[in-house]
Structure formats: structure tokens, C-alpha cells
Amino acid sequence: MILTIIAFIIVLGILVLAHEFGHFIMAKRSNVKVEEFAIGFPPRIFSLKRGETNYTINAIPIGGYVKMLGELEHSKSPRAFENQGPGKRFSIAVAGVVMNIILAWFILTLGFAIGMSPLVSPASDIPGKKLSNEIIIAGIEKGSPAEKADIKPGDTLLSASYNGSVTNFDSAESVIGFTSSHQNEKINVQIKRDDNQIEKEVILSQDKEQPLGLALVDKSVVRATWYKAPYVALRETYRIAELTWAFFGSFFKNLFASGSVSDEVGGPVAIYVYTGFAVKAGIMALLQFVALLSVNLALINILPFPSLDGGRIVFIILERIFGKKIIRERVENIIHTVGFALLILLILSITYKDITRLF
């Protein structure tokens, strides 16, 4: 538990540090005065002033912020955020999102250069050497032949035999091919569970698509050459973003249509739980988890919602289109404050669902 708590704090710290550093470095490059660079939300634990900026670590480790002069209050200083042109304000606002994408890409580049299982792409799509391969059982259909044979999620599928002929599985496709060609027949399946090899007798169903009734994950560890790893990581980052964006679409559609939050959505509690799983799975799994969260954080922040980076970007784009601010600074700040309150309510709702699922 202690290890999970430490890992949870480190994971959130890395994500927030990368995001806020993007805002910070772009503000500095734009000669905007940064009054505070904070990790976490108050109460304050530690503070150090260097130059004109206070660097603080706060007690609640689920976020962070960069406080710039003229961001939330009026200032006549030429170094105030509000007095910069739309281009500079846009670059500062979007920099956090860019840094989270870069973080994910860097982690995946490192992973593929060392040897890693793809997060969303088939292992066959990764140009490189396959170091190892496991077919993990991710789910069991109720009433399926697999459930009747006491095959469980988390088991590793090794091989199957029919009339003494053994077929070793090297991909999820090979499992599907074998089971589809032996519908309604008795086979013996070899699985690995907790480092023990077990054999199960299974009578396959007549279901053409799921004769065994399993959901499989092809956990192949692939190592790309060093010069291909950045491209492979970039493609994987794009595919993660694509799938995440599609999920956001279905989430908001469900939220506005029914007013309910999908059970597939997790908040800080879910992140804590999955951090624990990743820690148990090893350092590479933990790094993959950080990369996945970093892409999610980037896309969440780019949403055109008040208080998020995307909401601020919308106002900047409108100003650019009309040649002037169409909403007063004070009104815009009120909109962002209300948006932040609604965002906190949504997080509390998701956190409540996380807790009820746990207990």
C-alpha cells in the first residue's frame, strides 16, 4: 500500500509537472511574469522563491498551476498575461497540452527502444524484433465453454490440443483460427496461472465468432531499432489519442443525454487503484500507464470547457477572429470560475462512483 501511495504521488507529480512546465517555459519565453509555479493545491507544504517566481509544493497532489501576472486580475504591466497579443497567449495556453503529448511520446519511444508491449496497436504492426509473447485472457463470457471449464481472467493461454495434435498459440489470431476450426468439438487447453501450467478440457460451442467465449489481449513485447522507435512511439501516441477522443465523444453524449456518468470513467481513486496494478506489473507497465494518462490529460485540457486550457483558447480564437475581446476580462474570469466549480462537481461525482465500485 505504501508503495502504491508513493507511486501514485510520483505519477501525478510527473503529469502535472510536465503540463505546468509547458505553461511556465512558454510564459518565460514570452516575457510574461510568472508569480508562482505550484504542484498540487493548497495548503502549502513547501515554498522557495527564485527570482520573481515562487516554486511551491502543496498538500493535495491532484493538480497544479502556474500563476501569471494579469491572468486572474487586471494589471497595466506590459509583462502581464492579459496585455500580451493573442498569439503569445495562445502559445502559453496550449503549451501544457503539447508537453503532455511530448511526455507520452518520449516514454513510448524509450519503451519501444528497450522492448515493450504496444498499448493499442497489434504487435504485428510494430516494426522490430518480438522478444516475447503472451496471450492474456482479459474476460470470460457468462455461460461460455471457457467459464464452464473454470478458465479465469488473468490466465495466460499457451496452447491447445485436439486428437493428440498440439497447436502453440503465438497471437490472438491463432487462437481464433484454431477454435473456429474446431467448433462443437472437445479440445484440451493449456493455460498458465500463477506460474503453474494447468490443462483444461473444453467443449467448444457452435458460436462462429466466440467458440471458446474469451476476450484476449495479445501481450507481445517488441523492440524497435533506435531510429524507428520515435516514429513507432509517435504512431502509438496518435492512436491512443484517437481512441481517447472517440471515448470522450461517447462519454459526453451519454452525460448530456441521460445526465449520468459512465462506469468506464475513473477519477483520482481509480487512478490510485490502477497505479497499484501497474506497480505490481513492473516498471514498464507503470511507464505505459503514465504515457496513457498523459495523453488523457492533454485531451481533457484541450476540451473547450471554461477553466480548462481549451476554454481559454476558445476566447483567444474569438478575439483573433473579431479583432478585439468580445467578452470583458471580468466576465471571462467569472465564466472560468463557474466552469471550475462544475468541473470539481463532476470530479466529485466520478470519485463517488469510484469509491462505491471499490466497496
| DSSP letters for 281-347 | H-HHHHHHHHHHHHHHHHHHHTSS-TTSHHHHHHHHHHHHHHTS-SS-HHHHHHHHHHHHHHHHHHH
Residues of the chain with pLDDT below 50 are none
Q: With a threshold of 0.85, does the pTM exceed it?
A: no
DSSP H helical ranges for the chain: 2-29, 86-114, 145-148, 172-180, 229-258, 268-281, 283-301, 309-322, 329-358
* CA–CA separation, 38 and 55 (whole Å): 6
pLDDT given at position 265: 62
B/e letters for 169-183, b = 16+ CB within 10 Å, e = fewer, are bbbbebbbebbeebe
User: What is the per-residue pLDDT for 104?
Assistant: 96
pLDDT at 346: 67
The superfamily CATH assigns to domain 129-222 is: PDZ domain (2.30.42.10)
- For residue 33, the model assigns a pLDDT of 95
Distance CA 315, CA 332 (A): 8
**Residue 359, pLDDT score:** 60
Instruction: State the DSSP code for 168.
Output: E
Residue 230 backbone phi and psi in degrees, to 5: -60, -40
Q: Residue 237: what pLDDT?
A: 96
Residue 121 near residue 239, CB atoms below 8 Å: yes
**What pLDDT does 350 receive?**
65
Domain range summary for the chain, segments of one domain joined by +: 2-117+235-358, 129-222
* Angle, helices 2-29/268-281, rounded to nearest 10 degrees: 110
